[in-house]
Amino acid sequence: MNTQKIHFIGIKGVGMTALAILALEKGYEVTGSDVEDTFVTDIALEKTGIVVTSFDAKNLQNKPDIVVLSAAYNKDNIEVKEARKKRLNIKAYSEILALFSSESQVIAVSGIHGKTTTTALISFLLTKANLNPSYVIGSGEIADLPASGHLGSGDYFVLEADEYRKSPDDNNSKFFDLNPQIEIITSIEMDHPDMFLTDEKVYEAFYKFACRIPRKGFIVLCLDYPKAKKLLRSLADRNFETYGFSEDVAWQIIDYLESVDSTSFSLINEGKNIGPFVIKIPGEGNVLNATAAVIVALKLGIQEKSIIKYLAEFQGVKRRFEKIGQFNDITVIDDYAHHPHSVALTLEAVKKRFPDAKIWCIFQPHTYSRTKELLSSFATAFNCADKVIITDIYASAREKEATITAEDLTQAIHINQKQVKYVSSWDKITQELIDNVGGKTVIITMGAGDIYKLGQNILKELKK
């Protein structure tokens, strides 16, 4: 039997890279193309030996059996045009994810926040417990796993279930292609205003996704969001395992404590204390992520004492509170936070983990639409930082015009946080830090764009 060929258009995206690695392990001959810019996935792709080329119609000369299209590209891409011309089998990323996971028990992690870390945690716990899961995780690197994508021999397939649109030409959410037996919904609130006009539209997407769960399956739902409570009330014929910090949940988080090098918490379920659990990754957000992972692990029969042991070993995910390095008393951290809620939680975690340090936050806003729609929430998100620098907005390729500026965001933040300024270039930001940073300090770069590249440069210049 001939080896099937699969080609990924936009292979450098974190989800696409993980899926390509899985396809390689499934025995496909894998090729991919993308822009020449540096991505967080470059090293992961290089390790696999997958050849990545620039976009070119010639890449499809060998007529691959499947062409997988990233949600970032549409019919205007030169390879998409060529694939259509040759009448090749073009599939969206989410369709191939659904195909590859179709014969497994799918554990789908959804939500506006925490998807990647929660998916990584569940994959790690199941791997440590010798359940040998398959997984697709939207990260360039997970310290505790060999790669972001893996084909396991076990029954379970752990994956991120994304609420965002399937492609520029198809406004349906990606997660509608999936058929999970277990769902995790970490959070429901307003995001992706270029797709969802209101938070009610966001809710409707998650409601439809929850309806995809079979009645013998279950949904692990964080109740710390009003829309999550509405979902629970609206689906009486599904099995829920609710969690959060409030008392009206099945799995209540208690005894949450931050120290300089770890975070600890316990759970109460049906009157029984479970834990305590200790994790290396800080903040309330990560306690919630870990709680969801604990619930899934317990429901799948992993022993409490084993979960306690494994959780303490988990080191985290690239671009999630990732320590870039240290010079004297200055620590440089990078984080993917780009929604005001996650920005606020992450800065709160920095303050708790480094209580005596001055916090400099370098924030790169992500997309004009999100910045504009959530402007009032961004205005209050930076109060835990001592100094805030706003960079230019990292726009989506799909956005035709600038509907808001970084200066507008800076002015909005200034009402609540006087120590904020807009700085127009990375060189100027680096110089600003060199000139002003001293003593015990944390510099944290934040955003979903390419801001992660700045942290290494800052560290290098500080060491000169």
Phi, psi dihedral angles at 115 (to 5 degrees): -60, -50
Instruction: Confirm or deny that 12 is annotated as ligand binding.
Output: no
* Rounded Cα distance, 21 and 147, in Å: 8
Which residues sit opposite 134 in a β-bridge?
Answer: 157
> H or E segment at 210?
helix 199-210
Instruction: Confirm or deny that 309 is annotated as ligand binding.
Output: no
* Rounded Cα distance, 278 and 256, in Å: 10
Angstrom distances, CA of residue 362 to CA of 219, 293, 355, 432, 444? 36, 30, 19, 11, 6
Contact of 280 with 290, CB cutoff 8 Å: no
Instruction: Confirm or deny that 112 is annotated as ligand binding.
Output: yes
Instruction: Confirm or deny that 117 is annotated as ligand binding.
Output: yes
Q: Residue 168 carries which DSSP code?
A: T
| Pairing label, strands 272-279, 322-327 | unpaired
Which string of DSSP letters, residue by residue, matches 406-432? HHHHHHHHHTT-SSEEE-S-HHHHHHH
- Structure tokens that stand for 96 in this block: 């191939």
What SS3 class is residue 231? Answer: helix
* Rounded Cα distance, 110 and 108, in Å: 6
* Rounded Cα distance, 223 and 243, in Å: 6
* Rounded Cα distance, 222 and 302, in Å: 21
Dihedral sign computed on CA atoms, order 298, 301, 306, 310: negative
In 3D space, the residue among 111, 224, 100 whose CA is nearest the CA of residue 163 turns out to be: 111
Instruction: Confirm or deny that 186 is annotated as ligand binding.
Output: no
* Rounded Cα distance, 316 and 261, in Å: 13
* Rounded Cα distance, 362 and 429, in Å: 8
Residue with tokens 């507008």: 408
The type of residue at 174 is: K
Instruction: Confirm or deny that 128 is annotated as ligand binding.
Output: no
Q: Residue 158 carries which DSSP code?
A: E
Radius of gyration, alpha carbons of the chain: 22
The type of residue at 418 is: K
Instruction: Confirm or deny that 410 is annotated as ligand binding.
Output: no
In 3D space, the residue among 384, 416, 386 whose CA is nearest the CA of residue 283 turns out to be: 384
Known binding residues for ATP:
111-117
Known binding residues:
111-117
